[in-house]
């Protein structure tokens, strides 16, 4: 039997070798990442806050269920509209592209504690020209189904995403059921009472399933994406 979780060695575009996590999922039941603790974007240290992620798929959807624990400021997030700058506050994110290669083109999917959804196609040219092109996807016609439940008693918010497999045919359709992806979470570390507050590395934790190992918090590092295999 194949292991559902583990690490795979990949070559960076810079020439070095690193190990990134992989996850194998099936259509029968949810498969969870084995370590519920995400890592810091900077330095790769484990964080105290637990983030549980489970996935499965069928002929139509990729299902991602997540549980963001140890979130003490659920009501201090003020973005409620889709495709806004909700990344300025607390979020859960998925970056994903079809195929086994590290790609400059991938989908960015965000959900926040208010059930606001962010969908875009990314063309990442940060290495070559320090530029990131963003093409928004209409959340109302995308076919993405999503929901959020907040539990103030346990400082937890739980999200569910159903992402059409057709939407995941990006940057191109491939016959093999392999994806590169990463999961992220932004967690505020201090109180905010002004709706316009914006997160930064001094007041928040920037967490990753596969740490991007950047000098400053940065999620857009496709070389560090893990692997998702659809068995």
Q: Are strands 204-208 and 37-40 parallel, antiparallel or unpaired?
A: antiparallel
pLDDT digits (tens, 9 = 90+) for 28-64: 999 999 988 899 999 999 999 999 999 999 999 999 9
What whole-number distance in Å separates Cα of residue 76 and Cα of residue 152?
12
- Judge contact between 185 and 112, C-beta under 8 A: no
Going by pLDDT thresholds of 50, 70 and 90, the confidence category of residue 127 is: confident
Q: Determine the Cα–Cα distance for residues 155 and 158; give it in Å rounded to an integer.
A: 10
91-125 burial string, b = 16+ CB within 10 Å, else e?
Answer: bbbbbbbbeeebbbbbbbbbbbbbbbbbbebbebe
Q: Is 209 within 8 Å of 53 (Cβ atoms)?
A: yes
The domain spans of the chain are 10-25+37-230
pLDDT beyond 80 at 14: no
User: CATH number of the domain at 10-25+37-230, out of 3.30.470.10, 3.40.50.1360, 3.40.50.720, 2.60.40.1190?
Assistant: 2.60.40.1190
Provide the pLDDT confidence category of residue 130 given band limits of 50, 70 and 90. confident
pLDDT at 9: 94
Evaluate if residue 1 carries a pLDDT over 60.
no
pLDDT bucket at 2, cuts 50 / 70 / 90: low
Per-residue pLDDT band at 16 (split at 50, 70, 90): confident
Closest CA to 95 of 120, 131, 127: 120
Are the C-beta atoms of residues 4 and 25 closer than 8 Å to each other? Answer: yes
What pLDDT, on the 0 to 100 scale, is given for residue 147?
Answer: 98
pLDDT (tens digit per residue) in 58-101:
999 999 999 999 999 999 999 999 999 999 999 999 999 999 99
**Residue range 133-187, pLDDT digits in tens:** 999 999 999 999 999 999 999 999 999 999 999 999 999 888 789 999 999 999 9
Q: Are strands 117-125 and 226-230 parallel, antiparallel or unpaired?
A: unpaired
């Amino acid at each position: 039997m194949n292991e559902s979780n583990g690490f795979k060695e990949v070559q960076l575009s810079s020439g070095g070798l690193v190990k990134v996590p992989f996850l194998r999922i099936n259509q029968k039941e949810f498969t969870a990442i084995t370590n519920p603790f995400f890592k810091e974007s900077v330095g790769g240290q484990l964080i105290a806050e637990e983030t549980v992620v489970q996935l499965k798929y069928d002929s139509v959807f990729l299902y991602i269920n997540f549980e963001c624990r140890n979130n003490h400021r659920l009501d201090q997030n003020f973005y409620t509209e889709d495709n806004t700058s909700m990344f300025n506050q607390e979020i859960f994110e998925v970056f994903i592209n079809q195929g086994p290669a590290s790609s400059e083109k991938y989908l960015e999917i965000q959900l926040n504690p208010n059930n606001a959804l962010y969908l875009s196609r990314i063309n990442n040219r940060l290495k070559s020209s320090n530029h990131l092109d963003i093409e928004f996807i209409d959340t109302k016609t995308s076919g993405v189904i999503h929901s959020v439940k907040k539990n103030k008693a346990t400082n937890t918010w739980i999200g569910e995403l159903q992402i059409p497999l057709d939407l995941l045919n990006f940057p191109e359709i491939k016959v093999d059921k392999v994806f590169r992806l990463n999961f992220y979470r932004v967690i505020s570390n201090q109180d905010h009472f002004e709706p316009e507050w914006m997160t930064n590395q001094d007041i928040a934790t920037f967490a990753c399933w596969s740490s991007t190992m950047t000098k400053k918090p940065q999620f857009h590092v496709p070389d560090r994406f893990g692997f998702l295999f659809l068995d």
